[in-house]
Structure 1
């Protein structure tokens, strides 16, 4: 395994290995279907005259992303003959996802809303399954040293897939309609199965479970036998909590400060998107050099300061250079922090049960976004924007302090 002390000429070559490039491309195909059952589907429903109450209910089709750990043991226990445990399931899932998107393309939202909901649920089921398999493949294909860099390539690929499906999808829908968009995305998704054919199948570590019951139970037993198991779960819950809660109220904040929707779209969405990508690549590179322990500390502190920078915006009149600087700082640090965080989670899974354990940890990672961030609007209106963002930045402290407990084995 390469060490962080080796010269740049050695570790730089990791960027071009089939495993690291595979992390990027699998991330792209993982992010592609996410918003096709979110904002793009909402736009289609609105265009077809579906009422807002019904559109809101379609958010329930995203449940498989939260519950994916329930069927993840299937992927740990069984393997597809001739193709392997990870690659075989991935090819099968991506082909099924392409078919589900093609069927969704020919649905009629206004005439058959229940059928549309069923097809959208099928898309999210296969999409969540694909996410589980991609995470398992990345964990088992990369060494612990490469997890942070692999995570940064994966996350950036994921964001590009989301951008193509959402931004590109809406533009193309204006030109050729939503049926064309979903058929096109189905074709792109099918190309993912072709890419998966050339991915290297990771070697199985130890013996995979011989019975399905063992595949369900053993991942949890193995994880909670660790001395710091509960502290690891608490750390995953806390590390990006302040950043997540602050992000939940960012758009109302920009509007409250007097920025126009055009300015928000141009600076926050477009400029910020590229800053996040750069942050991911920079973060992955720095993790190679300083290690995951120091990276979690340094990037976590940067995240806290970037959240506090929003409080500084409340003290000045609307200025685009100031907004751009804060957005650049926040998105760069968020991209770096996410790379280290995803790399940390991957390194905490046992290679025999990667699919189940990572699905559980990533579901827990979503708790701040779904539940804890729910009262963020009440917090902002009660405290005011200055104290709200200052408080969110201080929420980084508990997660950072937990790192001290992991110092001996994480370094």
Structure 2
């Protein structure tokens, strides 16, 4: 390798040593930890405690908090917090509040006994989900406002590494602690589970400490404030001062993010929204049948767990890291196109697997390539979504856009089982590949539709090496 190429590679990888990237790694850990504590880990605890399956199923509704986080994202965008906002700034104050709420709520879960008071545990779990979704809103906004678009994929990759690492700790780590503390690891022990959740509450302090020492992004809010003042002045002619102030605030918090988006993109907004709603269609439609496919091909639980959780996780993180480097060097749209192409075409490996049948080396290859492609595509896509948000509306717009990206693919994925029953796995995976190809056209049509951002950032951002 020539010295010039080595220097270029060193400079490209150096982006992951930037302070903002390291901060995002820790914030990703803080965001990923609570998720499993109200999902699979909680289900395990409840079942060991002898809770009925129907009740455990009802607990899954707590996850709806994450699906509706866009509903209170305008508050996170526009509502200052007394004392906290003055000392820590708009974004960090909300992070500190949500992380403090999470620690208290997880401690509440740790003090619960599902055998005697299931309602107390449900309330605390609901509080964890709400605080966790709020943290996700503000961390996304913090990431977007902390650095320009060229660095967003690296921030997204660091966030994913932290997030997925925390998910492992909140599942395997919590189970290990519960068994280790218990006097009878083979049977249910309430104290073991309570200590496991106490440990998870302690680990949440990582995010809280990070928020205290992170730098608040500098964002120009003048345009949003001017619009709010102008609307308030107009409304005072019809309403009392308090009512006019409230209506003007609601206009700025709820209506202006939509108005801003369509004003900036005009007629191109439709193409952009189509791209967002379709970009992940190939991997989501395929993914819904993945585990069913593995079982039908005769793979054991141990093989599936090893290949999908270990190889799959490693390759996803590698793909995310590579995506971050490539976006910083070549730009978002080129890597967005590459990611869409790879995600669509790698489904053909699963079509080959369906034709061959049980074959561990082939499945290892298929899962590794598929997860690498998915990680790369996700890093580029997050960078793209981040570039779409407007100054002052990051939390609201990103929450809405990230919700849009799942609606259509999830709806189509609901028919995947019927398609497999009618046409078989080979045709299903070929179809999952084909429906991803129109995304390439949408990427081309949307290319060049991002307006230049002029936000200032309080960190010096590393410049990608010259090509």
**Structure 1-normalised TM-score?**
0.94
Matched, 1:59 2:60: yes
C-alpha separation in 2, matches of 1:365 and 1:337: 13
Does residue 399 of structure 1 match 2:436?
no
Residues 199-247 of structure 1: CA distance to partner in whole angstroms, max 9, x if unpaired? 1100022325455311111111111222222322221111111101111
Q: Distance in 2 between matches of 1:367 and 1:184?
A: 36
Kindly indicate whether the alpha-carbon contact (under 8 Å) linking 1:278 and 1:335 is maintained by their aligned counterparts in 2: yes
C-alpha offsets along residues 155-188 of structure 1, whole Å, 9 cap, x if unaligned?
Answer: 2221111111112222222223221111111111
68 and 81 in structure 1: CA distance in 2 versus 1, 3 angstrom threshold: same
Distance of 2:361 and 2:29 partners within structure 1: 31
CA pair 179-303 structure 1, distance change in 2 beyond 3 A:
same
Distance 1:277 1:309 in 2: 20
Displacement of 1:42 after TM fit?
0.6
Report deviation, 1:370.
4.5
Cα distance in 2 between the residues matched to 1:155 and 1:212: 34
Structure (1 or 2) with the larger CA radius of gyration: 2
**Conserved in 1, the CA contact under 8 Å of 2:320 and 2:375?**
yes
Matches of 2:117 and 2:262, distance apart in 1: 46
* Conserved 8 A contact 2:351-2:427: yes
Alignment CA distance shift 1:280-1:384 (3 Å) = same
Q: Which residue of 1 aligns with 2:179?
A: 174
Q: Which runs of 5+ in 1 are unaligned?
A: 1-5
2:136 matched to 1:121? no
Pairwise CA distance, 1:287 = 1.2
Give the conservation status (yes or no) of the 8 Å contact 2:109–2:125: yes
Q: Are the aligned partners of 2:30 and 2:206 in contact in 1 as well (CA < 8 Å)? A: no
- Unaligned runs of 5+ residues in structure 2 are 1-6, 182-191, 229-247, 452-467
- Secondary structure (helix, strand or coil) at the match of 2:90 reads coil
Equivalent residue, structure 2, for 1:189: 204
2:344 aligns to what SS in structure 1?
helix
Give the equivalent residue in structure 2 for 1:32.
33
Matched, 1:203 2:218: yes
Listed as ranges, the matches of 1:120-269 within 5 Å are 120-176=125-181, 177-207=192-222, 208-209=224-225, 210=228, 211-213=248-250, 214-225=252-263, 226-227=265-266, 228-269=268-309
d(CA) in 1 for partners of 2:200, 2:414: 32
Distance 1:317 1:397, change over 3 A: closer
Other structure's SS at 1:408 match: coil
Alignment-derived partner of residue 91 in structure 1: 96
SS in 2 for 1:107: coil
More divergent stretch after superposition (148-157 vs 387-396)? 148-157
Most deviating of 174-183 and 249-258:
174-183
CA contact (8 A) 1:238 1:399 kept: yes
Residue aligning to 2:379: 339
Looking at structure 1, the residues matched to 278 and 318 of structure 2 have their Cα atoms a distance apart, in angstroms, of: 24
> Larger deviation: 365-374 or 213-222?
365-374
Structure 2 counterpart SS, 1:203 = coil
Q: Partners of 2:87 and 2:359 in 1: how far apart?
A: 59
In the alignment, is the contact (CA less than 8 A) between 1:73 and 1:212 conserved in 2? no
Name the counterpart of 2:396.
356
Name the structure 2 match of 1:389: 429
Shift of 1:132: 0.4
> CA–CA distance in 2 between the matches of 1:8 and 1:323?
31
Cα distance in 2 for partners of 1:274, 1:12 equals 18
| Displacement of 1:364 | 1.8
Rounded to whole Å, the distance in 1 between the matches of 2:167 and 2:295 is 24
For residues 230-265 of structure 1, give each alpha carbon's deviation from its aligned partner in whole angstroms, at most 9, with x where no partner exists.
322221111111101111111110111111111111
1:290 paired with 2:291, answer: no
Deviation of 1:11 (Å): 4.4
Distance in 2, matches of 1:12 and 1:320, equals: 33
- Taking the aligned partners of 1:146 and 1:262, their CA distance within structure 2 comes to 38
TM-score by length of 2: 0.83
* C-alpha deviation, 1:10, in angstroms: 4.5
- Per-residue CA distance 1:16-63 (angstroms, 9 max, x = gap): 111111121111111111111000011011111111111111111011
The residue number in structure 2 matching 1:23 is 24
- SS of 1:205's equivalent? coil
In the TM superposition, residue 193 of structure 1 has moved relative to its aligned partner by 0.6
Query: Does structure 1 conserve the Cα–Cα contact (< 8 Å) formed by 2:73 and 2:399?
Result: yes
